[in-house]
């Protein structure tokens, strides 16, 4: 069939023009595919740069982290999750902290220990025990978050709760620098029975 067609409608386009048109078409297809991938990836994830010391010893300034924006689309945050959220002051960059108190819980910090509903929290990830104290009740639409570097973190003990509506997503892994590659949220906090 192709032979018959080429005999009736001979290809009169010069080979150079045909090659140029094929290259341009492939270039446009590549650009369109790249844009689709870029938009798709940004719809489900974000990349953030850690800018402070508040999450040491887990995250250090300069680390680049991938955030799963769909993590809580069908589920709820868990204690120990590292989340990224919009801070109380909307002019600031998003914050990254660890979920400590869940909706409806009481968080108490006393003598360097965090208690959830009266049960001591085991926290293998913190840099040092908190040198502050207080008691906070977490509203049903909010989370209580703390930095792992408890005494150098501007977090819920300073300014209050994070509304669930302000959560951008769950930090999943460090991808830069290569020497620090690791999955996050593997060292979960746990509270014993009171």
Q: How far apart are CA 82 and CA 98, in angstroms?
A: 4
Specify whether the CB–CB gap between 161 and 143 falls below 8 A. Answer: yes
Q: Which of 18, 97, 133, 179 is catalytic?
A: 97
Q: Which of 18, 19, 34, 54 is catalytic?
A: 54
Q: How far apart are CA 147 and CA 54, in angstroms?
A: 5
Specify whether the CB–CB gap between 107 and 114 falls below 8 A. Answer: yes
| Number of neighbours of residue 160 by Cβ within 10 angstroms | 14
Q: What are the Cα distances from residue 158, in Å, to 78, 109, 138, 146, 186?
A: 21, 13, 14, 10, 26
Active site residue 69: no
Which residue numbers are catalytic? 54, 97
């Amino acid at each position: 069939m192709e032979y018959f067609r080429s005999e009736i409608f001979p290809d009169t386009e010069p080979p150079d023009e045909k090659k140029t048109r094929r290259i341009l078409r492939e270039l446009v297809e590549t650009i369109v595919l790249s844009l689709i991938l870029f938009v798709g990836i940004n719809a489900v994830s974000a990349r953030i740069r850690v800018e402070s010391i508040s999450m040491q010893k887990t995250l250090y300034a300069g680390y680049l982290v991938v955030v799963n924006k769909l993590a809580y689309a069908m589920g709820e945050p868990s204690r120990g999750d590292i989340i990224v959220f919009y801070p109380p002051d909307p002019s600031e960059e998003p914050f990254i902290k660890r979920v400590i108190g869940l909706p409806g819980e009481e968080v108490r910090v006393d003598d360097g220990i965090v208690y959830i509903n009266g049960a001591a929290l085991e926290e293998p990830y913190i840099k040092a025990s908190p040198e502050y104290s207080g008691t906070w009740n977490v509203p049903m639409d909010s989370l209580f978050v703390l930095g792992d570097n408890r005494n150098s973190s501007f977090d819920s003990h300073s300014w209050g709760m994070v509304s669930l509506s302000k959560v951008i997503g769950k930090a999943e892994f460090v991808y830069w620098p290569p020497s620090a590659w690791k999955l996050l949220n593997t060292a979960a906090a746990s509270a014993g029975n009171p």
